Chain A
Amino acid sequence: MLQYVTLTIDGSRVRAAKGTSVLDAAIEYGICIPHLCHVPSLSDIGACRLCIVEHVRNGSSNVTTSCTLRVQEGMVIRTNTEKIVKLRRNIAELLVAEAPNSRAVQDIAVRCGVKEVRYPFRNNNCIQCGRCVRYCNQYWRANVLGFIGRGKDRHVDYPLGTRPDFCKNCGACTLYCPMSVTPCEGPMKRGEEHLCGKCESQLSMSASLPGACVRCDLGKGFQCARHA
């Protein structure tokens, strides 16, 4: 039998099955915590850090990712404090400066309140969310993709650099890649990257109602747990 716990997210009492993550519990109740590397049914690694929340415990708060935090009885979570919003905006800014050619990342950046990007754009495309790697290794158990190198050299690649025979050609790596959602006006040229921001009007609701799920288009195309 499933055991349930009750926790508080942004002041609302939420009931969730033991063992689920705070992020899943929040999404189930329509509380939108922006997230990128989280894919329903795959393990969470806490890499993109967009889903950070404040975990209030014994009077002090601790910033942690909600996708890796398991629900506990009596937990108090805040997803939209000033500190979290600022941190999340800075992280989204780092991401969009790295991969401006992804509509998914652009949308998340706008949703997180990025108004301008203060770093030179890099047009690196891969933001190493690890969605492809985890889907390949955990869902299909194909182990065709993996992370290679560390630090700045870390990248997603096949073993030994060539596509092995055991790749099942399922195409899930492409499907799950944030880069597969290109900006409406097509990819931006190197040197001309900018923050699109045209969908801002569609997302403006989020400013007045922080934390409410706006059922953004993004989610539909991007395997948001809400649309799954």
Chain B
Amino acid sequence: MVKIKNPRDLESLRVKIQRERKKIHSTIIMCGGTGCQASQSLAVIDAVKNQIARQGLQKNVHVRATGCHGFCEQGPIMVIEPENLFYCHVSAKDAQEIVSKTLLKGEIIERLLYVDPVTGKKIRTEAEIPFYKNQDRQLLACSKLVDPKSIDDYIAIGGYEALAQTLMGITPEEVIEEVRASGLRGRGGGGFPTGRKWFECWEAPGDEKYVICNADEGDPGAYMDRCLLEANPHLVIEGMMIGAWAVGARQGYIYVRHEYPLAVRHARYAIHQMREYGLLGDNILGSSFSFDIEVARGGGAFVCGESTALMASIEGKVGEPRPKDIHTVKEGLWDKPTVLNNVETWANVPSIMLKGSKWFASKGTKGSKGTKIFALTGQVRNTGLVEVAMGTTLNEIVFTIGGGSKTGKAVKAAQTGGPSGGCLPVSKFDLPVDFDALTKAGSMMGSGGMVVMDEGTCMVDVAKYFLTFLQDESCGKCVPCRLGVDRMLEIVTDITEGNGRPEHVGLLEELAETVREGSLCALGKTAPNPVLSTLHYFFDEYVAHIEKKRCPAGVCKSLISYTIDPEKCEGCGICIRACPHNAVKGEKKKTHIINLLECRKCGICIAECKFDAIMAG
């Protein structure tokens, strides 16, 4: 393996790789991210490679297994370049047809094309799909261009150029100033200005400093960091190296949870490749900068995403937060100045250095610059990873990109910011997505989870769900978080079971304040958000539960009963056969009746009924 000793070597390597790539006629880009792997994309890749070998096309066709493209719902996804053809739900059986028809004859296989759920039309190319068209993909766009296991791919698209430029003549002060001017804010949830964090760490006395990449993503339904690290580990590492140069660190850590095996593997492999090229180690690219990275695996505790708990975990201690009266930029990992940034924050750094802070600051709003990746999930037609410029409205994300409600029921709310974020009602969907606007509305940006809920969702039940998660994931060290969240859950559970009392609302609000103000770390301080935001925007639902003992959405089992509408029931008998508890009785062609004593409210009959005759309420 050749060592890259200086920027000139890097440049000549890049030219060499690009020259070799010119011989390739077409590229089959196959998503090998975790989502598509689950729908057997690896088998498709093998089958396609097999077919190509059989047809003798190895020299002209390149098969690239990349990380996540974002449109996980349509997986496995295949994109054929240069035509930009987009095939979805590809299976291994289609491989032969794809190679013989599309590659050799240029024919399009109609049945593999994407059908727009809104218009019902088939769309041929990736660029035309509304899901992609309406995004501003700066970080995610690279995922398609590189194989995460190939450093050459990354170098070919201009990788490590930002690092080379930085090391060759940009002082740490200038780097920090550039990042500060770009207005980049931490993507992990706090939204702390990255430039200021770096400056404080740079300022802190001491020779030994650390940079850490926080990939301990644990929000339910969020997987931006996972996909970014899986798809393009070199981008994150390059960002970390620039940050390390700026603050004067010689050692970096990527803290990634053990439940992300692919991310761990790709990060480790990327580090291995970099060491072979000499891009990690002493005197990188002939400069005075020496740096190395290790991957630290986390045990999957949500609280270890908190900076001090994460550092305790890397040190080998119990992952519990400590009071942050002294910031981690002064005393962090092993009591040394430490910069901890989220995966997405690091990934933004190389392009800021290459394209300049002005370019970055041109996107976004006054307080929040650049683009942000969201994991759009829940009851929307198009689920997946969405990257938009800051300041895009929720309406645009949910309806234009997400395609609106999947179930046919109207969209009711969106939950942003993960478990400690809040639920925003549809009336607030004209809010721009921006750190300050969301916080003001009672939610938060968080790391970028976005769960869309429709009218069939009970907001009290949602609050209960998130409280259960938080109570489970609280480290249990401080009283307000451990006992306060537990008591809040107790009260909310009471409300959903019909034991709510009017004074419960006041008690919930008081408890929420105690937990928010009194807790030790950010997990506790934001834990009441799900309750507070639902209390604020969906107060009538709480009232219905407490006073009328009724669940408007028909979700809380203790408060609903199932009835059959005699007008709609055709007496087909499907529900009788489907009911596992034998609660439905009736004769053929006559209206059926549900025996409420036997009914367990499992909802199977509702799902089975073809005439929508069974109602919960």
Contact = CB atoms under 8 A, between A and B. Distances in A.
Interface of A: 45-50, 52, 63-65, 68-70, 83, 87, 90-91, 94-95, 97-98, 118-120, 127-128, 147, 149-154
A77 B48 CA distance: 69
A24 to B, nearest CB: 14
Nearest to A54: B517
A46 B478 CA distance: 7
A49 B325 contact: no
B378 interface: no
A50 B479 CA distance: 9
Given A63-B517, A64-B325, A94-B487, A150 B478 contact: no
12 contacts: A45-B477, A50-B479, A65-B323, A69-B325, A83-B517, A87-B513, A91-B479, A97-B483, A97-B487, A147-B476, A150-B301, A152-B471
B511 interface: yes
Contacts of A64: 323, 325
A68 B510 contact: no
A119 B513 CA distance: 16
Given A69-B325, A118-B507, A150 B479 contact: no
Nearest to B519: A49
A150 B318 CA distance: 10
B341 interface: no
Given A70-B325, A119-B490, A151 B482 contact: yes
B472 A151 contact: yes
Contacts of A120: 490
A63 B518 contact: yes
Contact of A48 (B323, B472, B479): B479
Given A47-B479, A94-B484, A149-B476, A87 B325 contact: no
Nearest to B507: A118
Contacts of A150: 301, 303, 473-476
Interface of chain B, main secondary structure: helix
B520 A46 contact: yes
- A-B pairs with the 5 shortest C-beta distances? A154-B476, A68-B323, A90-B514, A94-B483, A46-B323
A160 B482 CA distance: 23
Nearest to A63: B517
B486 interface: yes
A119 B514 CA distance: 15
B480 interface: yes
Interface string B265-277: 0000000000000
A120 B487 CA distance: 9
Interface in B284-304: 301, 303
B474 A91 contact: no
A177 to B, nearest CB: 16
B476 A152 contact: yes
Interface in B17-72: none
Contacts of B471: 151-152
Contacts of B477: 45, 47, 128, 154
A128 B476 contact: yes
A149 B476 CA distance: 9
A158 B362 CA distance: 57
A87 B517 contact: yes
A94 B481 CA distance: 11
A119 B507 CA distance: 10
A91 B514 contact: yes
Contacts of B503: 118
B475 to A, nearest CB: 5
Contacts of B487: 94, 97, 119
A106 to B, nearest CB: 16
B514 A154 contact: no
A119 B479 CA distance: 15
Given A48-B478, A63-B518, A152-B471, 17 more contacts: A48-B479, A49-B478, A49-B479, A49-B518, A70-B326, A90-B484, A90-B510, A94-B487, A94-B514, A95-B483, A120-B490, A150-B301, A150-B303, A151-B472, A152-B482, A152-B486, A154-B477
B323 A94 contact: no
A152 B472 contact: yes
A98 to B, nearest CB: 6
Interface string B516-543: 0111100000000000000000000000
A83 B479 CA distance: 18
A152 B479 CA distance: 11
A151 B474 contact: yes
Interface in B314-336: 318, 322-323, 325-326
Contacts of A91: 479-480, 484, 514, 518
A47 B478 contact: yes
Contacts of B318: 147
Contacts of A83: 517
Interface centre among B318, B471, B482 (most CB of A within 10 A): B482
Interface centre among B473, B484, B514, B518 (most CB of A within 10 A): B518
Contact of A87 (B473, B478, B518): B518
B419 to A, nearest CB: 13
A153 to B, nearest CB: 8
Contacts of B490: 119-120
Nearest to B470: A151
Contacts of B476: 128, 147, 149-154
Contacts of B478: 46-49
A118 to B, nearest CB: 6
Nearest to B477: A47
Given A68-B323, A152-B486, A52 B473 contact: no
A91 B483 CA distance: 9
Nearest to A155: B476
A65 B478 CA distance: 11
Nearest to B511: A90
A95 B479 CA distance: 8
Interface in B457-502: 471-480, 482-484, 486-487, 490
Contact of A128 (B322, B482, B517): B482
A69 B482 CA distance: 22
Interface centre among A52, A68, A94, A119 (most CB of B within 10 A): A94
A62 to B, nearest CB: 9
Contact of B479 (A63, A68, A127, A153): A127
Contacts of B473: 150-151
A65 B322 CA distance: 11
A159 B405 CA distance: 51
B480 A151 contact: no
Interface string B546-564: 0000000000000000000
A55 to B, nearest CB: 9
Interface centre among B301, B486, B490, B514 (most CB of A within 10 A): B514
Contacts of B514: 87, 90-91, 94
A125 to B, nearest CB: 13
Contacts of A151: 471-476, 482
Contacts of A47: 477-479, 520
Nearest to A69: B325
Given A49-B520, A63-B518, A94 B480 contact: yes
B129 to A, nearest CB: 42
A24 B517 CA distance: 22
A7 to B, nearest CB: 14
Contacts of B480: 49, 91, 94
Interface centre among A45, A49, A97, A152 (most CB of B within 10 A): A49
Contacts of A153: 476
A83 B474 CA distance: 25
Contacts of B511: 90
A118 B494 CA distance: 14
